[in-house]
Amino acid sequence: MKEVLSVILGGGAGTRLYPLTATRSKPAVPIAGKYRLVDIPISNCLNSGISRMFVLTMYNSASLNRHIKNTYHFSAFSNAFVDILAAEQTPDNFTWFQGTADAVRQGLRHLEPFPADYILILSGDQLYQLDFVRMVEEHKQKGADITVATIPVTEKEASDFGILKITDGMITSFTEKPKSGLENWVSDTGEEMRSKGRNYLASMGIYIFNRNLLFDLLQKEYAEATDFGKNIIPDSIQKYKVASFQYEGYWEDIGNIRAFYEANLALTDDLPAFNLFDNSKAIYTRARMLPPAKISGTHLDKAIIAEGSIINASRIEHSIVGIRSRIGHETVILDSYLMGNDYFETLEDIAHDQQHGLPILGIGSRCHIQNAIIDKDCRIGDDVRIMGGAHLEDGDHALYTIKDGIVVIKKGAVLPNGFTLG
């Protein structure tokens, strides 16, 4: 797919995913125990034969930069690359990115030297597996100037998205998060989708632009526009051929803690909607050369255990245990996501921790953890009890945050022996 150049948007401050975004950008948030969110759009591109990508970043970008630098290496005989374009001040622009369109506009001078007929614009914080070859082919077949990836949604879901109306595959109108009058926005989504009540087409925030048109729109016609979804796409519908590419597979916009939590735990289902075990749709990430997980005396049910883990827990159910996790004896983990650790402690480190009354890196013995997300590099002592649920009020504290009943233990937090929450 040498005719396509991909631009992946790194997102803003990610406040709805706080505290997971307190020290990292949204695309750098760990998912499924071993990946980062940015691995999803990059892997979709690689699986589609698109091997030239730019990732636009601004907030908390150090860990994202490090991950991309350590992960995506290509042959010296290939023109493939995944490059970071960080927000920068230039002689003609002193501002940070003001929105999705402005971010791409500021990166145009870096895109310009690379030949391509189409520019594919992606979000860095979505979970999906999409064949961009089909999307590009439909774009060409329809003679479109712009193609928007759309997904059928129900009436209940429609008010959370930008909704599009189509005629013969072309988008004729757009409304942002409609709260009323939805009967006017029904589209022909096909017999199967209609049978599921999915009668509305939502924008996925994935776009294909003809290269020359994108440059003209951003530099001339909409030189002041800041956002694709709010400004450029709605205004372009009446002026250009804007097509819909209907996608009917799994797609999740990881926009808040609840969505993030549920999307991760759904991976433990017997037949998850997002399939990590598909050879043709592999998810790529950093090759860490870690040892296999070691598990002793643990009952496991619907659990994902990442490599490098040492587990002596009594029970782990409906949970994900991330890389290099360490879990002590008689501990119970239920409905939780443990992100793991960035390094192993040596025996000398552990002895030092114990001498100074510091919990070792990981989860101690006789703990009970439920409805929680444990961020990386946490030290949770013995006999700790964390019980998330609807009975807890939302709030932000020094060691943890509670959102929608989910307890999020902050990165690097130290919980002493006997700590109880919930």
The verdict on 25 and 55 lying in the same domain is: yes
DSSP 149-163: EEEEE-HHHHTTSEE
Pull the structure tokens for residue 24.
């990292």
Token look-up 């992606």 returns 122
The verdict on 331 and 381 lying in the same domain is: yes
Q: How far is CA 240 from CA 53, 174, 394, in A?
A: 26, 14, 46
3-state secondary structure of 87: coil
List all residues 6 or more positions away from 171 whose beta carbon is below 8 Å from its beta carbon: 148, 164, 165, 237, 242, 243, 244
The verdict on 258 and 355 lying in the same domain is: no
Pull the structure tokens for residue 186.
């029904």
Spell out, as residue ranges, where the chain has pLDDT lower than 70.
12-13, 87-97
366: left (phi over 0), alpha (psi -120 to 50) or beta: left
Say if 285 falls within a structural domain.
no
Say if 355 falls within a structural domain.
yes
pLDDT at 96: 60
3-state secondary structure of 403: strand
Q: What is the pTM of this model?
A: 0.94
CATH number at residue 107: 3.90.550.10
Distance CA 401, CA 408 (A): 5
Closest CA to 333 of 299, 368, 363: 368
How many other C-beta atoms are found inside a 10 Å radius of the C-beta of residue 203?
22
Pull the structure tokens for residue 332.
């119970």
Question: For strand 400-403 and strand 385-387, is the pairing parallel, antiparallel, or unpaired?
Answer: unpaired
Note whether 311 and 293 are within 8 A (CB): yes
The verdict on 367 and 248 lying in the same domain is: no
Note whether 211 and 119 are within 8 A (CB): yes
Say if 389 falls within a structural domain.
yes
The verdict on 247 and 141 lying in the same domain is: yes
Distance CA 138, CA 141 (A): 5
Last residue of one domain, picked from the residues 268, 298, 328: 268
pLDDT at 61: 82
Residue type at position 58: M
pLDDT at 92: 61
Note whether 401 and 410 are within 8 A (CB): yes
110: left (phi over 0), alpha (psi -120 to 50) or beta: alpha
CATH number at residue 372: 2.160.10.10
Rg (CA), the chain: 23
3-state secondary structure of 36: strand
The verdict on 94 and 158 lying in the same domain is: yes
Distance CA 394, CA 379 (A): 23
pLDDT digits (tens, 9 = 90+) for 250-278: 999 888 999 999 999 999 999 999 999 98
pLDDT digits (tens, 9 = 90+) for 279-325: 889 999 999 999 999 999 999 999 999 999 999 999 999 999 999 99
State how many domains the chain has: 2
Note whether 323 and 341 are within 8 A (CB): yes
Q: How far is CA 256 from CA 20, 299, 321, in A?
A: 10, 31, 21
The verdict on 42 and 165 lying in the same domain is: yes
Residue type at position 71: T
Note whether 306 and 34 are within 8 A (CB): yes
Residue 345 lies in domain = 290-421
